[in-house]
Structure 1
Amino acid sequence: MSNSKYNYDENSETWPYFAITLVGVLVIPSTVSSISSLFAKETKNTNGAITSTFKPLTFQLIKKFQSKSKASKLFNARNLLLVIGWGILLYLGNYVAHKEIESTAVLFDPFEILGIAASATDKEIKSIYRKLSIKYHPDKLSSSLSEIEKQKAEETFVLINKAYKSLTDATTKENFLKYGHPDGPQAITQGIALPKFLIESQGTVLVLAYVFVIAILLPFIVRYWWNNVKSYTKKGIRTETSTMFVEKILNYKPTTLLTPITILAWISESEEIKEALPKLPQEDIVEIFIAHCSRQMGFLAKEQDKLNAISKVPVLVNGLLDLACHFRNSEIALACIETLRSVASAVPLSGIRKQQLLQLPNVDSKAVEKSSISTLGKLFTLSEEEQKKALGIESSASLKEALDVASSIPLLKVLKAQFVVPGEDGVPPGSIAHISVKVMIKSAKHHGVVTFRTFPEDKFHEEETFETLRDPFKMLKDQPDLPPAFAPYFPTSMKTQWTSLLAIQKDGKLVEQPATTTNLDLSNLKLSPEEFKASLKDKGKDFVIGTIKIPLTQPAPPKEGNYEFRLMIKSNNYFGTDLDLPLVMVVKNPTEKVNEKIYEVPAPSDDSIAGAMAQMRGEPVSTSGDEYFDSEDEEELVEADGLGLDDEDDDWSDIDTDTDDEEDQEDPKEK
């Protein structure tokens, strides 16, 4: 029968490394994930960020909520397990570092056994061998030695003989050089990389704990993780909420009036909001949202619970927006964006069209409703007293605070918009195109009309390289990141963003998923009104032109023709910064370039000797009057060169923005 006795790692030479590997595989990736989420890079207050000392009535409550949110990210069960895991990892590492390994494998060194140098000659080897043989020979040992000493001496004598043969005998020396031992290959000991105490009686508890972790706890964790993954969509909302949104979209009737209050009513039915406010009915939850947008405190729930529910609105609205675009419903998509910025800026959800003024701090909604002013641009044309009256502000300090915010809100002015196919002059049928929009960021305090003609043509030129042809959106990363939005009433930080929607002009149905713009240069906002006017006269010398690119996943139509679209670029944070413009895709087969064969030898003339020889061989010849171009062809060529489309003649009069033309006129106060 075979020996059923197993060898265990009694000297702890192997199992600590196995344990370190096992714990490290679990702890290190989890730690990296936790640190990256805990210390995620926050957008710094640069690149046109709005700095204001304004503090709403809920400022302390919001600060408390933010501190609590940060603390919950740090002190949770996951981080506690990570601390325990790192403790085990450090203990094992320290144990391995200070462990003196007692190797069971004996290294056979004949020179060390004989006590000679590796450079010893054969004569020296034989001499020392004779001396040691006489000393340790079993027949020469003293009778006074104990049995243990005699046994040790006999083992030494055997080693001396093997060492001598390893250096002198050819066969033994070959085994030593090949296998490291004069006797040839040695037996390999195989065992289990576990400490022996685990299989002894006192290790039963540890074995049971191991079985519990591997067979019960680990499958439970994997199942729990997988259920969480399946229960959330890519947009971060629960599948139950997504299903409810789909039902709302499918059951929506175009004849029904759709407002931001309708969107908030849908959101109030989501699982996320029900979990945040479990004791409130849907009507009360909607009232909480309306009170927030009206900048009122409300008393229907605890403030921290209300802030928690409000903080979930952007994720839910973006999830609904994505589904609305999937079903090509532009009306719901636009209502989602309107709701998102109303909640972010705490702007009333009523039907009045003065959100540009209501988004400012310190304003009185009743005074704004009575005022005839509705845009930020018109606000900067008024005197200080008229501005106070229009905004319902009494003190000059509060007015300055509101005007500083108003002048820092980035307004978009479109300069050029077109469909682009990398490497092509136009849009061939079936090609993959994208939309390139050249915009200029300006402030409401900047007066003057900025158009395509303001700038030289090279300002709009994009150099085509191998990198840009492969990734036409790479240049967007060179633009600065947009800063956090000014949203003092919102409980969490929000980044300034624009969402682009592309619809068919004929029926208004969306053709693509929403595209988000997160990179734009806002340095134009730093220009004073005088610097703006000076640069306007100097061909936009100090102006920075921004680029917005919208990817298109669907190929261009397969047939040539003009296809009309409507491009809507909506701000997620501010009112008055939108663009709405018509866009025509001209699908046309690329014209074949004329291949001028300038290096070919022309056919010989028929009245020459070479021509006569060519005619005899049956080769083509030219008549004496042939030329590359006759006079009529040359005339037509000149006329064709004189025709062309001037990009400056493009008319953007159909563009609809949230700002009136009045803000682009000169300030009457400066006349």
Structure 2
Amino acid sequence: MSTDYNYDEQARAYCIQGQFFPYFVLTITGLVVVPITYSLLKPSKALENTAPRIQSDFKPEHADLIEGQRRKQKKRERKLKRMIFTLGGWLLMSYMVYLMAVTARTAPKIWNPYEILEISMSAGEKAIKSRYRKLSLTQHPDKVRLDPSKNITEQSVNEHWVEITKAFKALTDEEIRNNYIQYGNPDGKQSMSIGIALPKFLVQAGFGKYVLLVYGSLLGVLLPYIVGKWWYGTQRMTKEKILVSTAGKLFLEYEERMDDGSVISALSCGDEYNEIYKGERIWTGLGKVEGKILADGPSTPFVAGISVKDRDKLKDMDDGVRRKVLGLLWAYLGRVELDDDVLNDEKYEVAPTALALNEAFTSIALAFGNTAPVLSAYHTAQNITQALPPNSSPLLQLPHFTSSVVAAVKGDAKKHFTVQDFMRIPDEQRKKVTTAAGLSADQYDLALAVASQLPHLQVEKAFFKVMGERFIIPNSLVQFVIKARIIPPGATNVPEVKAADLEDVDPDEGDLDALHGRKKQGAADRPVQPPLAHAPYFARDRSPQWHVFLADGKQGKIAVPPFSFATFDKPFFDANGGPSYNVQTLKMQFQAPPQAGRYTFEMHLVCDSYVGFDTHTNVTLVVDEPARAEEIEEEDEISEPDEDTIAGQMNALKTGGLAGAPAPKKTRRKPVEADESEGSDTEGEVGPQSETDTDTDTDEE
């Protein structure tokens, strides 16, 4: 069987001008370009792009290098290559639309007798004849007035009348009309012809095999390669946006009891660093970095805050990339000057990657369920965000505060001062100590201005409850409710908490959104974001989050996994820009234990962006026997007799009421809060005087 290629020059020109090729290209290009365009133009949902900022003009040392890292990251996020590709796609699509428009004007139209006579295809013979007679009265050459200025010449009139006559004869012939209706051609069914819009020489000069080779390469090689590369790219990353190979290495680094320094060492194992450090760059400056971070420190064995144990880990590493990354990370945490712009730039570059790896390590630690590694991972997130080594003073988060200033403020105290402790010191004493240690008046004012804007979440009350019930029974769905307020350090004239704000009233039965915990879509119900973390040394914008979990203190295990909160339901500031002191409600749900009893948990409320803002206290969950709860519920259900009965009349006389008087309205009983003796209890209610365990000198909270 032979195959003949029939080349039609007119058909080729017709196709190239836009009959088939532009539609094909426009469709394929649109399927790719439109989704990419949407991904580029859609508003980002990242909290870092919509949150307010803490007002501060503090510029740390090497602020230009930090800003350069920010610009580099934004450049990567803009995805310049994707933007160029998208622009090229739209230009190609515009050109295809242009070809289609040109084709619509210049392509020959298919002869259609119905269009010529201006009648519908359903018209019968009588209608066709009637239309022909009407046209003969206006379009016959003897009836048309010639007007060369309007291009109405004798030739054009005659040609038009010939077309009308041909159309009339075609439609009045039954066979011709049926052929046209069925096959679209007056001569009946025609042979099918398929053309390819390719240059003539490719078909006639024996290039057919090359054409097939090109098509085979496109569909059999290039397309599978693109799809495979995309699929591999999605599979090589975890949901935390780190490499799967890195997640495996972090898993191997996990230990049951890890302190903050051990977590920092584990974060240096990521394969992401291999893309940064290649060839000679691995060893360049490594000795200098280690010499700087292992120099004697003023209050610690080493200036970077690294312990002897972590120093030994660093020295024992054989992997050049990992060793340099870990040295740079300690230099970043200790704010160590490396006397080299390249090395200083690299230390600010490794911190964001280390924080991303820390989030993945936190997920791994949560899977094991041990409390110590999880807390260490959260503390490491705080340290990386604020560029502080483990167990350092929280006061170093304030602008211009150095180790000497912190030592002057601390004095003879054994524990570190938190920012809250510092702001409680009388202003005269506070200013005298800090200025004597080297702060100028402007630097002191800036430190206080930043401290007074930090979002310290102070817990006012914490309790357990079951929605719609007075008691908690085994295996019921329990809510752990935290009532807290954002009280910035140093705030004065803080109003007392209203008792009504500390209650948690169940929603109405018909309010499905509230019952299922869904947020309403109204403008007044939009979640409120806290300000971005004040982290001048961290080369990224970071929105703080608070993590709440319950732990078994005796076994060192997590009893209820963390619930994370990045937004709140009430504004932080009032109309004048001052603190609103609104009571925020945080809730987490879990299943009650299967047996009745009293269960004491350690509650940890951890902020992942600030040091010294955590809350640690004990809470007790009381689970009652189902029989006791049912007995009390039955007693509550005993109601007064109906008024239309004898007993009701007697009861009305006893109480001084009148028969037939309106019955008192039934009020909905609010659920019993945790401070009632027969309900679920929270021992040691958290108040303003019980803030947070801020002993950062030890590993225990």
> Of the candidates 58, 79, 89, which is equivalent to residue 85 of structure 1?
89
**2:199 match: secondary structure:** helix
**2:601 match: secondary structure:** strand
Q: Given that residues 113 and 163 in structure 1 are in contact (C-alpha distance below 8 angstroms), is that contact kept between their aligned partners in structure 2?
A: no
> Of the candidates 161, 165, 171, which is equivalent to residue 163 of structure 1?
171
> In the alignment, does 2:60 pair up with 1:56?
yes
Stretch deviating more after TM superposition (589-598 or 301-310): 589-598
> Of the candidates 601, 620, 623, which is equivalent to residue 565 of structure 1?
601
Question: What are the residue-to-residue correspondences of 1:99-248 with 2, within 5 Å?
Answer: 99-100=103-104, 102=107, 105-109=110-114, 112=117, 159-165=167-173, 187=189, 194-197=196-199, 200=203, 208-248=213-253
In the other structure, the counterpart of 2:376 is 335
Q: Given that residues 434 and 549 in structure 1 are in contact (C-alpha distance below 8 angstroms), is that contact kept between their aligned partners in structure 2?
A: yes
> In the alignment, does 2:484 pair up with 1:439?
yes
Q: Given that residues 504 and 566 in structure 1 are in contact (C-alpha distance below 8 angstroms), is that contact kept between their aligned partners in structure 2?
A: yes
How far the C-alpha of 1:444 sits from its partner, in A, is 1.5
Stretch deviating more after TM superposition (101-110 or 481-490): 101-110
- Which is greater in Rg? 1
Q: Given that residues 277 and 305 in structure 1 are in contact (C-alpha distance below 8 angstroms), is that contact kept between their aligned partners in structure 2?
A: no
Cα deviation per residue 1:536-591 (whole Å; 9 max; x = unaligned)? Answer: xxxxxx63111223354xx3333444333322110111123212233333445464
> Of the candidates 394, 417, 421, which is equivalent to residue 462 of structure 2?
417
> Of the candidates 2, 14, 35, which is equivalent to residue 20 of structure 2?
14
How far the C-alpha of 1:485 sits from its partner, in A, is 0.7
Residue type at the aligned position of 1:377: Q
Residues 424 and 409 (structure 1), Cα distance of their counterparts in 2 relative to 1, 3 Å cut: same
In the other structure, the counterpart of 2:534 is 486
Q: Given that residues 467 and 506 in structure 2 are in contact (C-alpha distance below 8 angstroms), is that contact kept between their aligned partners in structure 1?
A: no
> In the alignment, does 2:450 pair up with 1:405?
yes
> Of the candidates 544, 558, 561, which is equivalent to residue 496 of structure 1?
544
In the other structure, the counterpart of 2:152 is none
Residue type at the aligned position of 2:384: V
In the other structure, the counterpart of 1:358 is 396
Residues 112 and 363 (structure 1), Cα distance of their counterparts in 2 relative to 1, 3 Å cut: same
> Of the candidates 292, 298, 323, which is equivalent to residue 338 of structure 2?
298
How far the C-alpha of 1:85 sits from its partner, in A, is 2.3
Cα deviation per residue 1:61-115 (whole Å; 9 max; x = unaligned)? Answer: 111222222233446443333333222222112211232263664322297299x
Residue type at the aligned position of 1:294: G
Residues 211 and 3 (structure 1), Cα distance of their counterparts in 2 relative to 1, 3 Å cut: closer
Residue type at the aligned position of 2:66: I
> Of the candidates 29, 32, 54, which is equivalent to residue 26 of structure 1?
32
Unaligned runs of 5+ in 1: 136-151, 533-541, 606-623, 632-641, 662-671
Aligned-CA RMSD value: 4.8
How far the C-alpha of 1:412 sits from its partner, in A, is 1.7
Give the paired residue count.
583
Stretch deviating more after TM superposition (473-482 or 543-552): 473-482
> Of the candidates 304, 312, 319, which is equivalent to residue 360 of structure 2?
319
Cα deviation per residue 1:14-57 (whole Å; 9 max; x = unaligned)? Answer: 332122111111111122223448896743463xx311010001
**1:302 match: secondary structure:** helix
Distance in structure 2 (CA, Å) of the matches to 1:275 and 1:502: 39
Residue type at the aligned position of 1:91: Y
Q: Given that residues 38 and 73 in structure 1 are in contact (C-alpha distance below 8 angstroms), is that contact kept between their aligned partners in structure 2?
A: no
Question: What are the residue-to-residue correspondences of 1:256-655 with 2, within 5 Å?
Answer: 258-278=258-278, 279-280=282-283, 281=320, 282-298=322-338, 302-349=343-390, 351-352=391-392, 354-355=393-394, 357-370=395-408, 371-372=410-411, 374-380=417-423, 381-390=425-434, 392-447=437-492, 454-456=498-500, 460-461=504-505, 463-464=507-508, 465-474=510-519, 478-520=526-568, 524=572, 543-552=581-590, 555-588=591-624, 589=626, 591=630, 594=637, 653=684, 655=686
In the other structure, the counterpart of 1:535 is none
**What's the TM-score, normalizing by structure 2?**
0.70
Identity %: 21
Residues 585 and 659 (structure 1), Cα distance of their counterparts in 2 relative to 1, 3 Å cut: closer
Cα deviation per residue 1:423-474 (whole Å; 9 max; x = unaligned)? Answer: 555545434444332211102112578776x433586445345333553152
**1:657 match: secondary structure:** coil
Cα deviation per residue 1:476-511 (whole Å; 9 max; x = unaligned)? Answer: 973312221100001111112112233234423114
Residue type at the aligned position of 1:358: L
Residue type at the aligned position of 2:427: S
**1:200 match: secondary structure:** helix
Residues 492 and 523 (structure 1), Cα distance of their counterparts in 2 relative to 1, 3 Å cut: same
**What's the TM-score, normalizing by structure 1?**
0.73
Distance in structure 1 (CA, Å) of the matches to 2:440 and 2:235: 55
Residues 156 and 520 (structure 1), Cα distance of their counterparts in 2 relative to 1, 3 Å cut: closer
**2:338 match: secondary structure:** coil
Residues 388 and 25 (structure 1), Cα distance of their counterparts in 2 relative to 1, 3 Å cut: farther
Distance in structure 2 (CA, Å) of the matches to 1:121 and 1:82: 53
Distance in structure 1 (CA, Å) of the matches to 2:434 and 2:195: 81
Q: Given that residues 388 and 396 in structure 2 are in contact (C-alpha distance below 8 angstroms), is that contact kept between their aligned partners in structure 1?
A: yes
Distance in structure 1 (CA, Å) of the matches to 2:380 and 2:93: 50
Residue type at the aligned position of 1:438: K
Distance in structure 1 (CA, Å) of the matches to 2:78 and 2:97: 26
Cα deviation per residue 1:621-670 (whole Å; 9 max; x = unaligned)? Answer: xxx9xx999x9xxxxxxxxxx9x966556766365633789xxxxxxxxx
Cα deviation per residue 1:305-345 (whole Å; 9 max; x = unaligned)? Answer: 33221121221111101110111021011111111111111
Q: Given that residues 436 and 549 in structure 1 are in contact (C-alpha distance below 8 angstroms), is that contact kept between their aligned partners in structure 2?
A: yes
Distance in structure 2 (CA, Å) of the matches to 1:20 and 1:506: 67
Q: Given that residues 375 and 659 in structure 1 are in contact (C-alpha distance below 8 angstroms), is that contact kept between their aligned partners in structure 2?
A: no
